[in-house]
Structure 1
């Protein structure tokens, strides 16, 4: 079984489909984990949610997803009326869901599904989460604030403490856009800045092959595909 990870898609349905096809992911045999922030900023947030939900239902043993801070903001808007989400792409995301799901019941079902995903997923090798983990809290009791943890804080945590929390399993995550993916033995940030990174030409979506420690990069501005190897430090 090969293991793949994709995070911070931010509405790029085209890139998502292209990368899965290019990598020849076989979901009947391979594992695929999504790291949250499926929505906002891109052209088809609803399409991304629809596809991931469908894949999880079709391959429940092999396809998994965790919640990101953008889904958390959507939940706060839907449940509490918190308007913070609207200024971070929420207005466009609402239009996307309305266009793809004219039936309000189906639309609400998909939105609430995205809001109800877990904070983390773990297998025999890794722990997957959106932004980071707090070594001061048991894994199963992590505070929801971890969805907003910045890379500086997460990477200043001692590796030994983090690995003690996870039982020795490295953490695979996203949330903070980077241009290259590096691996320090305890953490790997896989957010390549899809529809988000400050340099438009460097905005990209990545599909990480954790089995081979390589990744495919889809650069959205030029619609180019690249293959790279995960760096180590």
Structure 2
């Protein structure tokens, strides 16, 4: 069994499927965790949610997903009318959901699934979460504020404190876009900036092979895939 992690897909259904096909994941044997922020920015938010939910439903022992802050904003919009989500790609995502799911009940079930995902997933090797963990809260009682934790805050926490919380399991996460993936023995940020661009570099969507400590990045502008090694520091 190999362990994989993909996070911050942000509506890129094409890149997501291309990466999964490229590495040839066997979902009946291999494990993959999706790290939240499936929606917004890209044009296919509904298709991403539909695809991931189907995988989780079909392979519940091997495919897992956790919630991200963009799903949290979606939840706030539907439960309390908070319009923050609409200003962060939600307006376009909402149109996409309405177009993809013509059946109201089907659309609602997918939205409820995406917003009710757990804050974290834990296996024998790692703890997976969207953005970070609070070392002052028990692992099973983390507050939802961790969905918004920046990389600078997470990496300012002593590694010993985090490993004491996780019983020496490294934390696999996303949320803060990076150009390359580094592993400091405690934290591994896998968000390669899907559907975000900067002047210095073009970013993409990543799929990390945690068993081999390698990763594949789908460069969205060129529609090509590159393989890289995780840099251990």
Which TM-score tier does this pair reach, normalised by the shorter chain? over 0.9
Partner Cα separation in structure 1 for residue 203 and residue 44 of structure 2: 16
Root mean square deviation, CA, Å: 0.9
For the residue of structure 1 that corresponds to 2:11, the secondary structure is: coil
Q: Which runs of 4+ in 1 moved over 2 A?
A: 196-201
What is the CA distance between 1:201 and its match in structure 2?
5.3
Alignment match, 2:182: 182
What is the CA distance between 1:104 and its match in structure 2?
1.0
Report the TM-score when normalising by structure 1. 0.99
- Aligned positions of 1:22-61 closer than 5 A: 22-61=22-61
For the residue of structure 1 that corresponds to 2:222, the secondary structure is: coil
Partner Cα separation in structure 2 for residue 53 and residue 150 of structure 1: 27
- Aligned positions of 1:213-232 closer than 5 A: 213-232=213-232
What are the Cα deviations for residues 158-214 of structure 1, in whole angstroms up to 9, with x where unaligned? 000000000110000000000000000000000000012434951200000000000
Q: Is there any run of 5+ residues in structure 2 with no aligned partner, and where?
A: none
Alignment match, 1:109: 109
Report the TM-score when normalising by structure 2. 0.99
Partner Cα separation in structure 2 for residue 180 and residue 215 of structure 1: 10
> What is the aligned length?
233
Partner Cα separation in structure 2 for residue 27 and residue 198 of structure 1: 34
Is the Cα–Cα contact under 8 Å of residues 177 and 197 in structure 1 kept in the other structure? no
Q: Is there any run of 5+ residues in structure 1 with no aligned partner, and where?
A: none
What are the Cα deviations for residues 16-47 of structure 1, in whole angstroms up to 9, with x where unaligned? 00000000100010001000000000010000
